[in-house]
C-alpha cells in the first residue's frame, strides 16, 4: 500500500510540475504576444477608425450590427456590467484554468495537440493586427457605443492597468479564439456525458456575448477569432508529428495521467 501511495504522489507531483511549467510558458508567450502587437504594429490610430466604420457599415448591411442594442440592455443592469467586465478582464486566467484541468484529467496527447493549436493561433493572429488595425466598438461613441470598462472598471487598458497592449487590435478577437481552445480542453478533460463540452460551450458563449457587451469586439471580430482557430487546428494537424492522432487517446480520462512531456 505504501508503494501505491508513493507512486500516486509521484504522479500528482509530475502533473503539478507540468502545470506550473506550461502555465509559466503561456504567461511568457502571452506577454511577448502583447509586446509584439504594441511595439511593431503602430498604424492603428491612422487607419483604425476608418476600418471600424467599414466593419460597422458591413454589419449594418448584413443586419448584424447588434452591439449597441446589447450594450443598451446590459447597461440597465449595473451588476451584470461589472460581472461581464471582470469576465472579460480575467479571460487568460480562465484559459489557464482550462489548461490545468486538461493537464490533470485529459489524455496527454490530446492536451499537447491543443497546446500546439494555441501556439499556431498566436502565429496566425499576429499578422492581422498589422494588416487590418481596427478600433474596437468602445471607441466608436458616434454610434452610441460605450466603454464599460472605463465606466465601471477594472481599468484593463489604462497605462497602469492590467494589460498594456495595442488598443487597435480588435480583429480578430482572440478572447473568443483562445476561449474556444479552452472549451476544447474542458471537453477533453471531462468527457463524462458530454459535461465538459457543455461547460466549455457555455464558457465560450458567455465570452462571445461579453466581448460585444463590453464594447471590445464586433460580431465580425468574433467570427475572425473563430476562423483563426479553425486555421490553427488545420496547421497543427498538418505539422509533422503524431500528436494529431487523437483517436489514440484513451477514452477514460477521469484518472490522472502520467505523460507530461511536451513538444
How confident is the model over 204-216, as pLDDT tens digits?
999 999 999 999 9
Per-residue pLDDT of the chain (263 residues; tens, 9 = 90+): 545 577 778 888 888 999 999 999 999 988 888 777 776 556 667 799 999 999 999 999 999 999 999 999 999 999 999 999 999 999 999 999 999 999 999 999 999 999 999 999 999 999 998 889 999 999 999 999 999 999 998 877 655 544 556 788 899 999 999 999 999 999 999 999 999 999 999 999 999 999 999 999 999 999 999 999 999 999 999 988 654 454 444 444 444 444 444 44
- Asked if residue 158 belongs to a domain, the reply is no
* Partners of residue 143 on adjacent β-strands: none
Domain holding 15, by residue range, is 7-40+54-152+173-248
Q: How many separate domains does the chain show?
A: 1
208 part of a folded domain: yes
Considering the domain boundaries, does residue 30 fall inside one? yes
Q: Is 254 domain-assigned?
A: no
Confirm if 16 and 23 have CB atoms less than 8 A apart: no
Cα 229 from chain centroid (whole Å): 10
Neighbours of 125 (CB within 10 A): 24
Report whether 44 contacts 170 (CB < 8 A): no
Alpha helices in 65-173 (DSSP H): 67-74, 78-89, 91-105, 108-131, 148-152
Is 233 part of any domain?
yes
In a domain, 122, yes or no: yes
Contact present, 18 and 260 (Cβ < 8 Å):
yes
Instruction: Note whether residue 20 is domain-resident.
Output: yes
Whether residue 15 lies inside any domain: the answer is yes
Amino acid at each position: 500500500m505504501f508503494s501505491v501511495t508513493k507512486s500516486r504522489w509521484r504522479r500528482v507531483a509530475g502533473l503539478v510540475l507540468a502545470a506550473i511549467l506550461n502555465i509559466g510558458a503561456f504567461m511568457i508567450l502571452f506577454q511577448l504576444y502583447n509586446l509584439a502587437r504594441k511595439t511593431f504594429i503602430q498604424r492603428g490610430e491612422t487607419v483604425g477608425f476608418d476600418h471600424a466604420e467599414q466593419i460597422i457599415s458591413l454589419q449594418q448591411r448584413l443586419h448584424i450590427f447588434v452591439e449597441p442594442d446589447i450594450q443598451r440592455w446590459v447597461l440597465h443592469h449595473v451588476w451584470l456590467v461589472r460581472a461581464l467586465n471582470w469576465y472579460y478582464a480575467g479571460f487568460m486566467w480562465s484559459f489557464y484554468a482550462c489548461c490545468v484541468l486538461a493537464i490533470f484529467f485529459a489524455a496527454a496527447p490530446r492536451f499537447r495537440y491543443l497546446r500546439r493549436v494555441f501556439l499556431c493561433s498566436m502565429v496566425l493572429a499576429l499578422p492581422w493586427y498589422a494588416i487590418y488595425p481596427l478600433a474596437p466598438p468602445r471607441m466608436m461613441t458616434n454610434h452610441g457605443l460605450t466603454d464599460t470598462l472605463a465606466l465601471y472598471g477594472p481599468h484593463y487598458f489604462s497605462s497602469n492597468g492590467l494589460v498594456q497592449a495595442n488598443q487597435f487590435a480588435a480583429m480578430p478577437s482572440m478572447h473568443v479564439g483562445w476561449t474556444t481552445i479552452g472549451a476544447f480542453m474542458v471537453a477533453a478533460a471531462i468527457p463524462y456525458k458530454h459535461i465538459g463540452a457543455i461547460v466549455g460551450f457555455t464558457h465560450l458563449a458567455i465570452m462571445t456575448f461579453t466581448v460585444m457587451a463590453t464594447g471590445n469586439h464586433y460580431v465580425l471580430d468574433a467570427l475572425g477569432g473563430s476562423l483563426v482557430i479553425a486555421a490553427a487546428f488545420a496547421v497543427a494537424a498538418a505539422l509533422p508529428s503524431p500528436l494529431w492522432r487523437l483517436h489514440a487517446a484513451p477514452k477514460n480520462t477521469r484518472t490522472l495521467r502520467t505523460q507530461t512531456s511536451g513538444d
